[in-house]
Chains A and B, each alone.
Chain A
Amino acid sequence: MTKAPVKPQNVARSNRKWIIGYSIAGAFLYFVYQFLLNWEGLPLGIYDAIYRWMPPAAVNESLVYVIMALGLNIVVGYAGLLDLGYVAFWAIGGYCAGWFMSEFFYFLKVHFFGSVPAEAPGIHINFWLVLIIGGFVCAAFGVLIGAPTLRLKSDYLALVTLGFGEIIPQVFFNGENFFGFNISNGTKGIVGVDPIPVGVKNLGPFDFGWKLLIFLLLTAVMVFISLRLRRGRLGRAWLAIREDELAASMMGVPLMRTKLLSYAVGAFAGGLGGVAFATHVNGVYAERFNFAISIFLLAMVVLGGMGNVWGVILGAFVLSWVNGNGLSAFGAFYNERFGTQVDFASFTFLLFGLVLILMMLFRREGLLPESRLKLVLHEDDLEEATSGKKAK
């Protein structure tokens, strides 16, 4: 079964295809939330339905989750390394926004293309620059966390990442007095992040329509990075490691460097998402960064299909919607309809747990499977055919 090599023009065409499809979907969302909702002739029923089932804030939040899930997908889906502490990168990215885009360091006065008046105290760096700073700080942390631990076996690696995922949020949680320095305002959090400058205006926390556009753009950047990297040398090396580490190293893939790069790129997305989320909620709050977030993100990647960008986007969008708005909206609807008092929001744990278990038991490759991964994940079914092979 030899497949014809992918010709360059095919690559170009498929690239064009997703960009067009994505732009249409994005334009539709933007149209609905920026214009339709503000249109006075809109029937009240539709307006209510949109606000009830899919308010603007929920769409934006889902997109932030999509960015994160795409980052986690690079680590888990591409390179096959289980990361259970991804929330650490979210936290670091968030605090980058908190440090560089607010009045948190009130004793300093640094402005760099910021969006606030020049006499405001604190560090105010341009949002787009902070995005890049946050991404690179996270990537550096990814390498820092990965370097000593990546030679461990996969399950130990999961634990060490989990450990870091606990330690880093705890540092921020106790950060009001971190060896004498206040690095995070502790549980009070950093309230108020600079608006996003887009040339014509500055976007505050309630410019949902405009921010939707920005988050769509960031998601597109992550999709682009994911797709391009996967096709390239690095992406092929990741897939090789995922499928068989030993064989990959025999073929000359430098294991450590390749794994570290997957960590770095994954963490970079975490940084983007963290900064984006900070502007979305207009602040950074330490207690939001808990272990459950890491597992939510993992469930999103698993549900949609590890390794497949579109699957991950679908999974992340659906699950973050369910988690943020869908479940409570459904609960309100159900309770109203049947006169019950069921607390649907508390079913999140059940739902995410079931997603992970059932997907692993019955459809390991996810809803939108990636064809290569499907083969790998069902290796155990092939055992009859290759009778000499010892199960790992």
Chain B
Amino acid sequence: MQKFKGTPGQIRRQRVERIGAISISLVLAAWILVNLLESPQQFAQVAILGLRNGLLYALIALGYTLVYGIIELINFAHGDLFMLSAVFSSYFITVWFKQDESNPAGWLTFISCLFAVMAFGAVINVLIERLAYRRLRNAPKLAPLITAVGMSFLLNFIGLKWNGSTPRQWPTVIPNGDIYIGEVRINMITILLFVVGIPLLLALNYVVAKTKSGKAMRATAQDKDAAALMGINVNKTIAFTFAIGGAMAGAAGLLYQQSIGTTNYNLGFQLGLIAFTSAVLGGIGNLWGAVVGALLIGLIQGLNDGLPIAFGQQWSQSVVFAILIIILVFKPAGLLGKVTTEKV
């Protein structure tokens, strides 16, 4: 255990925080254990569903964490970008290419839609950055934040006009069926989600960790001025970050639309907030943190919604936000985030 440092007041605070954090973790662990013993099969079932949602959250959360990492902006519009991507996917598959059942033509459309929707998300996100956020890069923090909220409303409006004001049902083209592992039923959709989602995460990690543009991104995140002096095109790098964040949200939109089959114009708000919570839980700015946080949130939400001893689905949102608040109070740096002392 690390030693506490600082003035007596700070030490007291740190001690209180640690006690709080440990007791909350214990309560969480006890809750999971009780449920596991109560009905192991149901537990596995809802855990898999939760992890599946967690993967979707991860794809969205990456967009938040990338953008926050590089320009310290909570991009409120990101969730709505995801919503627009879901609507785009529905139109692409069902209306434009007229695929409504699971056959080779449908799968082919699904794959081409994956590329199209990723491009769509990237283009929209870059446009938003170019038209609004770039102009406000040096403005006081309140300004871009309020702009992002406004952008979210704007995208909401586009979604409202495009999708209609009521939820819309769409046919899915991915194979439907179940696989049983013991007593536990796993839907094909779940498997497909992991088959598409995990390579995307690995590809993103490769781009950020190994390529030259990824290096430029990390350099810009650390210090824009110094990066510019080293010959990095800061504007281009930030645009690139928005592009890959948008592409991830686009992919998430397609996967969501195909797995749930319903789109709604206000979908982005809820999922965006959950995804943001995931990013904060894992430590904002940290890529794997976002993924871990998202899987955890998905798991907790899934368990809360589906298990006998829990608050139940109608408290789903409150549980997620309570996690957000607890994390921000006890460990603002997140699970995997590094503690940074606020420099002036």
A34 contacts partner chain B, Cβ-Cβ < 8 Å? no
A252 contacts partner chain B, Cβ-Cβ < 8 Å? no
B74: which A residues are within 8 A, CB to CB?
A: 155, 158-159
Whether A298 touches B146, Cβ cut-off 8 Å, given contacts A361-B135, A377-B139, A391-B138, is yes
Taking a contact as CB atoms under 8 Å apart, the answer to whether B160 and A383 are in contact is no
Looking at A39-47, A146-154, A195-203, A204-212, the stretch in contact with chain B turns out to be A146-154
Contact of B145 among A158, A246, A380 (CB under 8 A): A158
B280 contacts partner chain A, Cβ-Cβ < 8 Å? yes
B51-87 to A contact mask, C-beta < 8 Å, 1/0? 0000000000000000000001110000000000000
Most chain A CB atoms below 10 A, which of B135, B146, B161: B146
Taking a contact as CB atoms under 8 Å apart, the answer to whether A160 and B315 are in contact is no
A297-323 to B contact mask, C-beta < 8 Å, 1/0? 011001000000000000000000000
Q: How far is the CB of B335 from chain A (nearest CB, A)?
A: 16
Q: How far is the CA of A47 from the CA of B69 in the complex (A)?
A: 58
Whether A295 touches B325, Cβ cut-off 8 Å, given contacts A82-B142, A154-B141, A346-B161, is no
Taking a contact as CB atoms under 8 Å apart, the answer to whether B315 and A346 are in contact is no
Taking a contact as CB atoms under 8 Å apart, the answer to whether B317 and A166 are in contact is yes
Taking a contact as CB atoms under 8 Å apart, the answer to whether B138 and A155 are in contact is no
Q: How far is the CB of A242 from chain B (nearest CB, A)?
A: 9
Whether A347 touches B150, Cβ cut-off 8 Å, given contacts A159-B276, A159-B328, A361-B135, is no
Q: How far is the CB of B322 from chain A (nearest CB, A)?
A: 7
Whether A291 touches B325, Cβ cut-off 8 Å, given contacts A159-B74, A298-B146, A356-B149, is no
A158: which B residues are within 8 A, CB to CB?
A: 74, 145
Closest to A356 in B: B150
Closest to A292 in B: B153
Q: How far is the CB of A330 from chain B (nearest CB, A)?
A: 17
Taking a contact as CB atoms under 8 Å apart, the answer to whether A346 and B149 are in contact is no
A57 contacts partner chain B, Cβ-Cβ < 8 Å? no
Please report the number of residue pairs spanning A and B whose Cβ atoms sit closer than 8 angstroms: 131
Most chain A CB atoms below 10 A, which of B140, B161, B225: B140
A162: which B residues are within 8 A, CB to CB?
A: 273
Whether A149 touches B329, Cβ cut-off 8 Å, given contacts A159-B324, A349-B156, is yes
A258 contacts partner chain B, Cβ-Cβ < 8 Å? no
Q: How far is the CA of A84 from the CA of B272 in the complex (A)?
A: 15
B325: which A residues are within 8 A, CB to CB?
A: 148-149, 160, 163-164
B2 contacts partner chain A, Cβ-Cβ < 8 Å? no
B92: which A residues are within 8 A, CB to CB?
A: none
Instruction: Please report the total number of A residues contacting B with Cβ < 8 Å.
Output: 49
Closest to A161 in B: B325
Contact of B139 among A76, A298, A380 (CB under 8 A): A380
Taking a contact as CB atoms under 8 Å apart, the answer to whether A295 and B149 are in contact is yes
B143 contacts partner chain A, Cβ-Cβ < 8 Å? yes
B152 contacts partner chain A, Cβ-Cβ < 8 Å? yes
Most chain A CB atoms below 10 A, which of B161, B280, B314, B321: B321
Q: How far is the CA of A291 from the CA of B149 in the complex (A)?
A: 11
Taking a contact as CB atoms under 8 Å apart, the answer to whether A295 and B145 are in contact is no
B233 contacts partner chain A, Cβ-Cβ < 8 Å? no
Q: How far is the CB of A358 from chain B (nearest CB, A)?
A: 8
Closest to A301 in B: B146
Looking at A96-104, A167-175, A222-230, the stretch in contact with chain B turns out to be A167-175
Interface residues of B in 305-335 (CB under 8 A from A): 314-315, 317-318, 321-322, 324-325, 328-329, 332
Taking a contact as CB atoms under 8 Å apart, the answer to whether A167 and B328 are in contact is no
Secondary structure of the A side of the interface?
helix
Q: How far is the CB of B154 from chain A (nearest CB, A)?
A: 4
Q: How large is the interface on B (under 10, 10 to 19, 20 to 34, 35 or more residues)?
A: 35 or more
Contact of B328 among A152, A356, A392 (CB under 8 A): A152
Q: How far is the CA of A380 from the CA of B142 in the complex (A)?
A: 13
A357: which B residues are within 8 A, CB to CB?
A: 132, 147, 150-151, 154
Q: How far is the CB of A295 from chain B (nearest CB, A)?
A: 6
Taking a contact as CB atoms under 8 Å apart, the answer to whether B150 and A354 are in contact is yes
B315: which A residues are within 8 A, CB to CB?
A: 170, 174
Closest to A392 in B: B141
Q: How far is the CB of A301 from chain B (nearest CB, A)?
A: 10
Most chain B CB atoms below 10 A, which of A163, A302, A383: A163
B138: which A residues are within 8 A, CB to CB?
A: 380, 383, 391
Interface residues of B in 255-286 (CB under 8 A from A): 269, 273, 276, 280
Taking a contact as CB atoms under 8 Å apart, the answer to whether A163 and B324 are in contact is yes
Interface residues of A in 344-376 (CB under 8 A from B): 346-347, 349-350, 352-357, 360-361, 364, 376
B102 contacts partner chain A, Cβ-Cβ < 8 Å? no
A80 contacts partner chain B, Cβ-Cβ < 8 Å? yes
Closest to A168 in B: B318
A390 contacts partner chain B, Cβ-Cβ < 8 Å? yes
Q: How far is the CA of A143 from the CA of B85 in the complex (A)?
A: 39
Q: How far is the CB of A81 from chain B (nearest CB, A)?
A: 9
Whether A152 touches B332, Cβ cut-off 8 Å, given contacts A160-B325, A357-B154, is yes
A336 contacts partner chain B, Cβ-Cβ < 8 Å? no
Taking a contact as CB atoms under 8 Å apart, the answer to whether B156 and A353 are in contact is yes
Q: How far is the CA of A156 from the CA of B74 in the complex (A)?
A: 9
Q: How far is the CB of A315 from chain B (nearest CB, A)?
A: 13
A119 contacts partner chain B, Cβ-Cβ < 8 Å? no
Q: How far is the CB of A388 from chain B (nearest CB, A)?
A: 11
Q: How far is the CB of A353 from chain B (nearest CB, A)?
A: 3
Taking a contact as CB atoms under 8 Å apart, the answer to whether B150 and A352 are in contact is yes
Q: How far is the CA of A354 from the CA of B151 in the complex (A)?
A: 8
B342: which A residues are within 8 A, CB to CB?
A: 153
Q: How far is the CA of A153 from the CA of B332 in the complex (A)?
A: 10
Known: A152-B328, A353-B157. 4 other contacts (CB 8 A): A82-B142, A352-B150, A356-B146, A361-B132
User: What are 25 A-B pairs at a CB distance below 8 A?
Assistant: A84-B149, A148-B329, A149-B329, A152-B328, A152-B332, A155-B145, A160-B325, A163-B325, A164-B321, A167-B321, A298-B146, A347-B157, A352-B150, A353-B150, A353-B155, A353-B157, A356-B146, A356-B153, A360-B136, A360-B139, A360-B146, A364-B143, A379-B139, A380-B139, A390-B225
Residues of B with Cβ closer than 8 Å to A?
Answer: 72-74, 132, 135-147, 149-157, 160-161, 165, 225, 269, 273, 276, 280, 314-315, 317-318, 321-322, 324-325, 328-329, 332, 342, 344
Residues of A with Cβ closer than 8 Å to B?
Answer: 76, 80, 82, 84, 148-149, 152-156, 158-160, 162-164, 166-167, 170-171, 174, 246, 291, 295, 298-299, 302, 346-347, 349-350, 352-357, 360-361, 364, 376-377, 379-380, 383, 390-392
